[in-house]
Amino acid sequence: MSQFLSPEALCCAPYTPGEQPRDQQYIKLNTNESPYPPSPKVLEVLSRGEAERLNLYSDPTCKVLDEAIAGWYGVRTENVVSGNGSDEILAFALRAFCGRGKGVAYADITYGCYKTWAALFGLESTVIPLREDFTIDVDDYMDFPGTIVIANPNAPTGMLLPASDIRRLLEKDPDRVVIIDEAYIHFGAESLVPLTKEYENLLIVQTMSKNRNLAGARVGYAIGSAALIAGVNRVKYSFNPYNVNRLSMAAGAAAMEDGDYFRLCCGRIEETRGWTTRALENLGFTVLPSYANFIFAKSERLPGGELYRKLKERGILVRWFDAHRIRPFVRITIGSREQMEALVKTITELLQEVCP
């Protein structure tokens, strides 16, 4: 390591993003992108001369975007903060609510960035194992004194924690912040945004990457009490006040306002998820019950790493985590029906090779 680095930078544990090949030779089912293009309303708003105004700064308050989000959820703009993807928002939130004497708790199997941010901010992390069946036992978190972060549905399992469990966590200690990362909420599950009106200590984080088909625009946001949003903004204005660019701001607002297209795309993905799950189960796979736009699946006949490599050789990218407990699985993004048919066909062939 270089002599230039600070002790804090030396302690970092940088995140490794899923492969993003720049050529187009793969069926890409590894980073949970939507297989559908953005809303036609997004394309329309982007064609309305916003590019010609790129010489002018974007609005640091993100008014247009926050209003669209607030309008969709029936909250006030003081309850919304937008960012350069939900990664930025989550990082701001962890800095706002965690630090000396305020640690963070998260599951052993969950979104990898929680650990990365904890290392970046030098936080004391309490890592709480999922149950054997990959569900979360909220009783394990009940007495934790710091901030709790739960991905719901969880990644990479896709499994959902019931609202009643989250209510119990919120009520146990009203001064303890609970962050619910709802990146994958809109594929059959109910968002807990309405609970932000009841619980001042609940921060909901969402992204437009998956359900609004805008991964490449980098738009995320948090919804919560005015006190929590002010905390996130305190960090935002200390880090990067102009954090959302003009084009993504316009795209995000337009996507938020197009409820019909959102429901259409999410509905299709749910449907395709059902089809894919049944097809893989028919091939002997175990598929965890997913509420997300991906499934987490394993086969006794093809270990995760081998399945990942063989699929890649055949032009299909899925994600494999070489980690304790989840090594047998692969995470498969739900693409279009055609993509999933190609996947199932390829897996069928692979299984025949292994065990003809």
- Of residues 104 through 123, those in contact with a second copy by CB under 8 A are 116-117, 119-121
Q: Is residue 95 close enough to count as binding a second copy by CB under 8 A?
A: yes
What are the DSSP calls for 48-83, one per residue? SSTGGGTTSPP-TT-HHHHHHHHHHHT--GGGEEEE
Does position 276 interact with a second copy (CB under 8 A)? The reply is no
Q: How far is the CB of 281 from a second copy (least distance, A)?
A: 28
Q: Is 188 in the site for a second copy (CB under 8 A)?
A: no
Nearer to a second copy, 136 or 254 (CB): 254
Residue by residue, DSSP assigns 270-335 as HHHHHHHHHHHHHTT-EE----SSEEEEE-SSS-HHHHHHHHHHTTEE-B---STTTTTEEEEE--
Q: Is 165 helix (H, G, I), strand (E, B) or coil?
A: helix
Q: Minimum Å distance from CB 36 to a second copy? A: 6
Query: What CA–CA distance (Å, rounded) separates 88 from 98?
Result: 15
Give the residues across from 180 on adjacent strands: 150, 204
Q: Examine residue 4 and tell whether it contacts a second copy (CB under 8 A).
A: yes
354 binds a second copy (CB under 8 A): no
Residue 119 and residue 99: Cα distance in Å, rounded? 11
Q: Residue 142 CB, nearest distance to a second copy (Å)?
A: 19
- CA count, 13 A, side-chain hemisphere, 222: 32
- 251: contact with a second copy by CB under 8 A: yes
Kindly tell me which residue out of 132, 143, 175, 260 binds a second copy, with binding defined by CB under 8 A: 175
Stretch that binds a second copy, among 134-142, 148-156, 212-220, 287-295 (CB under 8 A): 212-220
142 binds a second copy (CB under 8 A): no
Residue range at the interface with a second copy (CB under 8 A); choices 70-78, 242-250, 306-314, 324-332: 242-250
Q: Hey, CA dihedral for 230, 257, 90, 84, is it positive or negative?
A: negative
Task: Determine, following the binding rule CB under 8 A, whether residue 215 of this chain makes contact with a second copy.
Answer: yes
Tell me which of 239, 263, 282, 355 binds a second copy, using CB under 8 A: 239
Give the end-to-end CA distance of the chain in Å, rounded to a whole number: 50
According to CB under 8 A, which one of 110, 154, 206, 233 is a site residue for a second copy?
233
Question: Residue 121 phi/psi, 5° resolution?
Answer: -95, 5
Stretch that binds a second copy, among 7-15, 151-159, 184-192, 326-334 (CB under 8 A): 7-15
16 lines the binding site for a second copy (CB under 8 A): yes
The residue from 74, 145, 216, 267 that contacts a second copy (CB under 8 A) is 216
Give how many residues touch a second copy by CB under 8 A.
89
Taking CB atoms within 8 Å and a gap of at least 24, the contacts of 309-312 are 310/350, 311/343, 311/346, 311/347, 311/350, 312/26
Is 345 one of the binding residues for a second copy (CB under 8 A)? no
Q: Select the residue interacting with a second copy from 27, 75, 79, 97 (CB under 8 A).
A: 97
Task: Please identify, using beta-carbon distances, which residue of 74 and 315 lies nearer to a second copy.
Answer: 315
The yes or no reply on residue 352 touching a second copy (CB under 8 A) is no
| Amino acid at residue number 108 | D
Q: What is the DSSP letter of 17?
A: P
The residues that bridge with 99 in the sheet, in sequence order, are 102
Output the smallest distance, CB 43 to a second copy, in A.
5
Number of H helices, E strands in the chain: 11, 12
| 156 upstream amide cis, omega within 30 of 0 | yes
Residues 31-90 that bind a second copy (CB under 8 A): 31, 33-38, 42-43, 46-47, 51-61, 63, 84-85, 87-88
* Cβ 203 vs Cβ 28: under 8 Å: no
Region of 15-23, 126-134, 305-313, 345-353 interacting with a second copy (CB under 8 A): 15-23
